[in-house]
Structure 1
Amino acid sequence: MKKLPRHIRDNAARFFRAEEGAAVVEFAIMLPLMFAVFALIAEGGRLFWSFQNVITGVRDTTRHISRIAPSDLCASSPSASISDFTYTASGELSALSTGNIAVSLDALSLECVGAANEYRVSPVPVAVVTAKLSITELPFSPLFHLVGASAFTTFETTVTDRGRVFGP
C-alpha cells in the first residue's frame, strides 16, 4: 500500500485537531432534541390548560344541576327526572368547545345514596355528570417524529363529578 503524500497527512492531522466548528456541530446534534422538548412543553401546557377547563366546567355544571333539580328525585313519585336536565348540562359543557377541543356530555345520571329514614331526605339524590374531552390536531405533534416518537392524533379522556341535589 502506498503511503499518502506528506501534505495530505499534514492537512488531515490539522483538520482532526481543529475545534473551530465543534460548537456548531454540537448545536446541530442537539437541535432536534431542543425542538422536541419545546414541543413537549407547549403541548403539555395546552393539554393541562384544556383539562383544567373541562374539570372546572364539569364541576360547575354539577353544582348547577344540583341547585336546579328538585330534591325529591329519589322519592317514589318524583316531580321530575334527572334526564329532564340533560339539555341544560349538555349546553353548558359544549360551550367549552373550541376548534380542536371538543367537550360533550357523556352521561348525566342519578345515584340514590342511603337507606330510607337514614337522613332527613332519604335516600339522598346525588347527580353524576360525566363529560368527554377530545383534543385533535395537536399543532406540535410532527416535531415528536424528530426523536423517533409517533405523532399523536387524538387525546381523549372523561371527567366525572358528583354533587348532592339540594333542589331550588
Structure 2
Amino acid sequence: MKRLRKHIARLKGCDAGGPVVEFAIVLPLILLFIAIIIEGGRITWIYQSAAAGVRDASRMVARIAPIDLCPAGSVAGYDAMVTDIVENRLNGPSVIPGGATLLDVIPVLHTRTGAYRIDPTCVVEVRAQVQIDYIFGGVFGWFGNPLGPVVTEVADQSRIFGV
C-alpha cells in the first residue's frame, strides 16, 4: 500500500505527458482548418474551370453560328458541342482531385436591339449546372452534420459575329 502511494505521488508530480494531451485536444481543430483550406481551394478551382469552359463554349458558338440566326433561329443544334467543351474544361488534367459532376449545359439564344451593325443582334448564353462534392465532408461531420454536395450554376454570354 505504501508503495502504491509512492507511485501515485510520483505520477501526480510528473507533467511529462502534458504536451501530448494538449496536442490531442488541438488536433481536431488543426484537421478542420486544413480541410477547410483544401476544400476552399478545390471548390474555387472547380468553379473557375467551369466558368472558363462556359466562356469558351459561348465564344465558340458566337464564332461559328451564322450571323442571320437571330430572327427565328435557335442554338439547340450546338448542345453536344457546348457540353463537350464545358466537360473537357471541367474534367481536364489537374493537380487538384476532382469531385465535380456536370449536370446540365444549356445554350440559349437572346435577341438584343440597339446600335449594332446588324439590328437586332443575337447573343448566345451558355448556362451550366455543376455539382461539387466535398471530399472532406466526413471530416466536417465531426463538428456537426456532414456536408452534402453543392449545386451551382455558371453562365456567360457572347454576341454572335457569324461566319
Does TM-score exceed 0.5, indicating one fold?
Answer: yes
1:167 positional shift: 0.6
Partner of residue 122, structure 2: 125
Work out whether residues 101 and 135 of structure 1, in 8 Å CA contact, stay in contact via their aligned partners in 2: yes
Give the AA of the match of 2:101: A
Q: 1:22 to 1:73 in 2, by over 3 A?
A: same
Q: Which has the larger radius of gyration?
A: 1
1:87 to 80, 91, 95: 80
Structure 2 unaligned blocks of 5 or more: 92-97
Deviation track 1:50-95 (CA, whole Å, cap 9, x = no partner) reads 11110111111111010011112223xx5x5311212211222233
Alignment correspondent of 2:138:
142
Given that 1:125 and 1:165 are in contact with CA atoms closer than 8 Å, whether structure 2 keeps it comes out as yes
CA distance in 2, matches of 1:155, 1:96: 19
Percent identity, aligned pairs only, is 32
CA contact (8 A) 1:94 1:105 kept: no
Q: Distance in 2 between matches of 1:143 and 1:105?
A: 29
Q: Which 5+ residue runs of structure 1 have no aligned equivalent?
A: none
Change (3 A) 1:104 1:72: farther
Match of 2:25 in 1: 29
- Partner Cα distance (2:28, 2:117) in 1: 64
Give me the TM-score of the superposition, normalised by structure 2.
0.81
TM-score for both structures, normalised by structure 1: 0.79
8 Å CA contact retained: 1:93, 1:104: no
Residue 161 of structure 1 corresponds to which residue in structure 2? 156
In the alignment, what sits opposite 2:57? Answer: 61
Structure-2 separation of matches of 1:166 and 1:120: 10
Task: Note if contact 2:111-2:121 (Cα within 8 Å) is conserved in structure 1.
Answer: yes
Q: Secondary structure at the match of 2:131?
A: strand
CA distance in 2, matches of 1:8, 1:40: 48
State the one-letter code of the partner of 2:60: H
Mark the CA change 1:65 to 1:104 in structure 2 (over 3 Å): closer, same or farther: farther
1:106 CA displacement:
3.3
Contact 2:49–2:90 under 8 Å retained in 1: no
Q: Matched residues in 1 for 2:77 and 2:53: separation?
A: 19
Give me the whole-angstrom Cα distance separating, in 2, the residues matched to 1:124 and 1:161.
17
Would you say the 8 A contact 1:135–1:156 is kept in 2?
A: yes
* Contact 2:110–2:123 (CA under 8 A) maintained in structure 1: yes
How many residue pairs were aligned?
155
2:106 maps to which residue? 107
